[in-house]
Every structure is written in structure tokens, then in C-alpha cells.
Amino acid sequence: MKRSGWSPSWCLAVLVLAGQATATEATRESFGSMADGSKVEAVVLRNSHGMTARVISLGATLQSLTAPDAAGKQANIVLGYATLEGYQKAPQYFGATVGRYANRIARGKFTLDGHEYSVPVNDKVNSLHGGTKGFDKLIWTVADVKHDAASASVTLKVTSPDGDMGYPGKLDVTATYTLGEDNRLSIDYRAVTDKTTIVNLSNHTYWNLSGEGSGSVMSDLITIAGDAYLPVDAGSIPTGKITPVAGTVFDFRTPKAIGRDIRNGREEQLLNGRGYDHNWVISRTEAPAPRVVARVQDPVSGRVLTLKSAQPGLQFYSGNFLDATTVGTSGKVYRQGDAFVLEPQLYPDTPNQPSFGSARLEPGHEYRNLIIYEFSVKK
């Protein structure tokens, strides 16, 4: 009898490879329609450890992320809305991609090569996160969805035309979310332009490592790898000073509870931001590769979030303006201090403060901000 040539060991190898091929998943689904009928898609990324990340095309937004705690229990640790309606009525940048310029530009003006540009003012007298219709409010195109044994990913793209929100140059942007078998979620932002412009993209996810809607994050232990920070004025615009954190409430170089010093009424900077809403100086220039910029440990769930980035700055926001008017994904109300935000980026208002470096992007060059979130547990 003629043998097929399939030995037991070869069959076992095929079965192992087949199992690996389905270790991660990426599926597309609808997330509803805008008032004008535009469709919003959701892409759900899964790994074999039970982690899931749902990304919606409105704002290239991380709508939810489930991760296990020290006991293996899964929970969504990202603030957001269960339906599209919430993102339309009160977006609050939940999980969103922010740009063209993340953070603030003073008075909505900047000068580039001798020409003054005006961008929309939407944060009192300043421009915040790209203006009245920044990238968080655009429907991005789902350009690619794929998965293999190691990871699942979705790439979204958007084109901002020359003059959009007052910014010069046509800007082509991609955002690639990748969930790996190593329990890492990365967001890879890239952009190219046809005309000299400024770019500063970041992600504005609100994190609660005990679980979305579970209450305050003030007991979370945070470490920030910055030995200086940028003081701000009453409008949250940097004053231009770079101040050492040593001996201040801004010193998180060793683990410290977010809420330990947050009620210090003698610290004017905490009054200006109603808490922490400042940029830490991680380095004076962009690093050659992502390195650890922050680590947060939740003593209740045991979840640990380690953040890596090559950006020179990190904006840390302690959820100061959550005001109990928002009902989130699980039907719980979000109150002040119920989440924290970590945004790797260039320094705020860099186009108006040359000592902060440069936000210029020239034709023929590529802007990149690779953000890596590593999830683990500490029992």
C-alpha cells in the first residue's frame, strides 16, 4: 500500500501551525451611522489571552480594551460610550486620535516661514487638539485589517486638505493599531505633507485600570520618567520655563499615588489645571526608539500599564474635568478623577516657543509617533 508521506510528527506540526494561525483575530462590524448617513465602522482585535481592543473609524478611536487582572478576570479599562450617539453629543476626546496639533496652541496663532496662520479657538482663547473639527471628529477610512499568529491590526487613514482648520499643506495620515500575543497594544501614527506644515499627533485614551466606571484612580501608583515639567498659565499654555520636578508635587520619578499631592492648595500649578494637566519633559529631543516614559500600577486589580514612546514630552492629565454628566460604556457615571490620560507628544505650543524645539514637517519627510502600551499584572 502506498503511503501518503504524512508522518505523525509532520501532522502534529501542521496542527500546531493551524492553531497558531488563529491565535489572533480581527473582525469588522458596524458601529452605527452619523446624522448625515455616513457609516462608522468598528474593528475588533483579539488575542488568545482574552484581550480585545475595539477601534472605531470616527476619530480613529480606541472605544474599548479588555485586559485580565491579577486573578485573570477580564474588564474594559478604557472610558467611552456604548453607542455612537455619545461620541457625537459629548465626545470629550475619549480614546480619540488628536491632531493636527495635539494639545494647545496659544491664541490659535503661529508663524511658519514668516507667514502667520490662524487656527480655530476652541479652549477659551486657545486652540486645543486641532480646533473645532480636529481629527477626533473625522471619519477615517479603514484601509487594512489583518491578523496572524503574532498579532492582529487595523490601519485607518485620513487626508486633511491644504487649509483644513487653517493648517497649511495637504496631510496624509495613517493610524495603525496592533494587538499582539505579548499583550501589547501599539498605535503607530505616520503623516506626510506636500507643503511645510506643523504636526503633533497623539492618542487621548482615558484609562481606569480597575475597570471602566469603577471609580477613582487616585490610589493608582504612577511613575513618570521626567526630571522636569512645563509650568502653565491660567489658560494651560506653557510659560516657557522648564522646571525641575525635584522637591515639587510633580515629582513622579519613583512610584507615587496620583492623588497623594493633588489637593495641595498651596501649589498654584494644581489650581491652574484643577489637578495634573501638564507636560513632563522626558527628553529635549525625540529619542531614536521608544523607551519607557511612564508606568501605572493599580493596587486593587493588580493591572500594570507600561507606556513606551520616543516623543520628548508626555502630557499627564488626571481626569479633572469629568463632572458626573457623562454616562459611560457600562452605564456608570464618570466623576472627577475617575481616569487618567497619558499622551506622548511634542511640547504644547511648540510652534510659538522656539526653545521647545520644532513641530515642522517638510515635504519628503515622514512624521511618526509610535506609542506602545504593555499590559501585565502584579499580584
SS3 277: strand
Cell of 344: 506622548
Which of 158-162's residues contact partners 24+ apart within 8 Å by CB, and which partners?
Answer: 158/60, 160/100, 160/135, 162/194, 162/195
In sequence order, which residues have a C-beta less than 8 Å from that of residue 2 and are 6 or more positions away? none
Residue (of 329, 331, 334, 299) closest to 319 by Cα position = 334
Q: How far apart are CA 195 and CA 197, in angstroms?
A: 6
Q: Which residues are catalytic?
A: 204, 343
Q: How far apart are CA 238 and CA 124, in angstroms?
A: 15
Asked whether 25 and 153 are in contact (CB, 8 A), the reply is no
Residue (of 206, 208, 168, 218) closest to 315 by Cα position = 206
